[in-house]
Amino acid sequence: MKRLGIVLSTALLGLAAAWACTAEPALSHSERLDGKAVFLDSGCVTCHSVPSAGLTARVEKMKASDLVDLGERYEAEWVAKYLRGTEKLDGKSHRKPFKGSDEELQALVDWLLEQKSE
């Protein structure tokens, strides 16, 4: 009986090792989350355009700045703080602080900083 337990344990360990070798590497949260989807789901496109991604602000009278070339002007940490409402630009906080998770915010900031003018 003891021998059967050892054989089964060894077989299970072997299967687990084989599965671990074939499983895809784990992705970080920001790699799994799509920044563009976060942008759309959070309603950012209501006021902001991202021409490089083919996105135009939905409400023309509320149109805020286009969000391209941010990476040339700001660091990721500053953008994240501004979007959360804890940093100011020209003495003003973002009108609608980002309410999503830290992972969603990171995916959004990463995506925004990748957007370049054409």
pLDDT tens for residues 69-112? Answer: 889 999 999 999 999 999 999 999 999 999 999 999 999 999 99
pLDDT of 61 reads 78
- Which residue bears the tokens 């799994």? 32
Predicted confidence band at 12 (pLDDT cuts at 50, 70, 90)?
Answer: very low
Backbone angles phi, psi at 92, to 5 degrees: -125, 140
- 44 vs 66, more confident: 44
Q: Is residue 90 within 8 Å of residue 42, measured between CB atoms?
A: no
Q: CA-based Rg of the chain, rounded to a whole angstrom?
A: 22
Q: Is residue 83 within 8 Å of residue 105, measured between CB atoms?
A: yes
pLDDT of 44 reads 94
> Half-sphere exposure (CA, 13 Å, Cβ side) for 34?
5
Assessment of whether the complete model's pTM goes beyond 0.75: no
- Which residue bears the tokens 């023309």? 60
Is the pLDDT at 29 greater than 90? The verdict is no
**From the CB of residue 8, how many other CB atoms can be counted at a distance below 10 Å?**
10
Predicted confidence band at 55 (pLDDT cuts at 50, 70, 90)?
Answer: very high
- Across the chain, mean pLDDT equals 80
Is the pLDDT at 10 greater than 70? The verdict is no
pLDDT of 1 reads 59
